[in-house]
Amino acid sequence: MLLVLVQGLCLLLSCLLLVQCSRCSAKLVRDTTKCSERVSRHSRLSSGIRVATDSYKAEGGNKAKITVSVGVGSRHETDDINGIAHFTEHMLLKGSRASGLVFFPCHSRNGRRKNRAPLVPDRTVDGVARRLSPTGRDMYETFRLCFEFSLLNGATTKEITRFKMECEKKEDVGTALATLSDLMINPDISDINGASSHSGPISNIHGAGFLQISAEAQKLAFHPNPLSLFVEGQLYSNFSVMASDIRHFYAKHYKAKNTVITAVGEVDHDEIVRLAEELFKDYPQGDGVSVPVSVWRHDSRVCFTQEAREVFGMLAVQAPSRALPKNATIAIVVRLIEWFPESAYPAHLTVTEDESNTVESAQMWWSIQAFKEYTMIGRMFVAKPGREVIVIAKLIAKWRYLAYDMTEENLKLAKDGFHKVYLSKDLDRASIRLVMDMMHCGRVFAVEEDRARCEAITLPQFRSACKRLLLDGDFTFVAFGPPDSAIPTRDEMKEALRRPKDEE
């Protein structure tokens, strides 16, 4: 009897242990799920600055990235000061007159450092730390690392100028915000030397063909201004810009209601808002200056140059802007087009070495630029002289493949690319996505929202959208090559794009 009682007691204890283990296991699963959640939020500070965060477990550790973006770029310029938005970015990155820190004291004319000399603050490290750090920590080492490993950087586009700082540890988020606020509130716009975007005109830059194609295509596709101006500017405008011009440009556009602070990675939204409210309280108030609405202009043009040893070209069409809610799905289709792998196209559409001596990945590629009014879908190519007709025919055939012959299997490949790249946890990609959402749409699209919208796109929907976007709309075509290049006319291009499927 005693033995039976002991066995029963052991059985009861075993059951209780199993129940407890299952509860612990369930709790562990719930906690893991909670940790793996990706939460997007946005708020507005009392000054009018907008704050958006994308909180998730970053790849490679507890990292984070802070970006301060201003709604200003080359579309806010005129011909005589073309390049000034990029100039202003470089000037702000040179250092702060308040703290005395010099972040990029050795810029060369092409924007890169001439040496790797350490930072030398004009004032004591302790004094700088007290002024900039919300926690009073010594930040000199952080600044030094930022300088040495390019964790602090900037970028200028046609519509947006970004100042970004990557944090190796989430505890450095306060430091990053303090650093960026110091640069943007107290810019040292005194000596313009060293802030130039590049050392000469487009024709002298490495990779001139690609830059020239991009610049010329933009001039054609965008009604003279505001989007036709090249971000880097031109030689004549670069050297005519004075420090006083930059100070005026800064005062005109760097305003609270024209600025967005974004944070991605292991960040806490409420903490970011609290820090930003304090650190950016002295940031200039007001709205940025609006610019005329850009109108898409359809044209075709062929420019020949004796120096060209290859034929460069670009075919571009217009897609709707994501700023309107009704265009959210078509915006996903555009990204599916972009991230569909080149290797998945039929083999006979691949550009061969006999047709282009450029590396395979650069023989034909997408150039997709999203603007507030619309998105430009461009397909660029490079071909050997005498082979340009074949390469252009393959470019058009690839567009027609997406509209007529795309398969379920390949659509899945495109969706996989979209999830892997566009919805990536990579800090830089996540940061850019957040900035574009806030600047163009005034809100954050949650990753799961975009993922669900992507998965809902069917093959007939994708084909129909590609036909409407790539084949049926007006287009802009520009090409450069030797004088005897055989570039198709606009009518020939239109006929090739719009030829009915049953006539192939």
287-304: buried (b, 16+ CB within 10 Å) or exposed (e) per residue?
ebeebeebebeeebeeee
pLDDT score for 193: 56
Residue 48 pLDDT level (bands cut at 50, 70, 90): very high
- Between 279 and 168, the more confident residue is 279
Residue 31 pLDDT level (bands cut at 50, 70, 90): very low
**Percentage, residues of the chain above pLDDT 70:** 69
- Between 429 and 462, the more confident residue is 462
- Between 150 and 334, the more confident residue is 334
131-142: buried (b, 16+ CB within 10 Å) or exposed (e) per residue?
bbbeeebebbeb
Domain 40-279, CATH: 3.30.830.10
pLDDT score for 333: 94
Neighbours of 16 (CB within 10 A): 10
For residues 74-102, average pLDDT? 78
Q: Which two tokens stand for residue 277?
A: 């409210």
pLDDT digits (tens, 9 = 90+) for 322-339: 877 788 889 999 999 998
Choose the weakest-confidence range: 9-23, 59-73, 261-275, 324-338: 9-23
Neighbours of 33 (CB within 10 A): 9
| Partners of 379 in the β-ladder | 315, 366
| Partners of 361 in the β-ladder | none
Do 40-279 and 300-503 come out as alike in CATH topology?
A: yes
CA distance to 64, 129, 393, 457, per residue, from 267 (Å): 7, 22, 49, 32
Q: Could you tell me the residue ranges of all domains in the chain?
A: 40-279, 300-503
Do 160 and 69 contact (CB within 8 A), yes or no?
yes
Computed over every residue of the chain, the mean pLDDT equals 76
pLDDT digits (tens, 9 = 90+) for 284-311: 998 887 776 777 666 666 666 655 677 8
For 69-89, the three-class secondary structure string (H helix, E strand, C coil) is: EECCCHHHCCHHHCCHHHHHH
Domain 300-503, CATH: 3.30.830.10
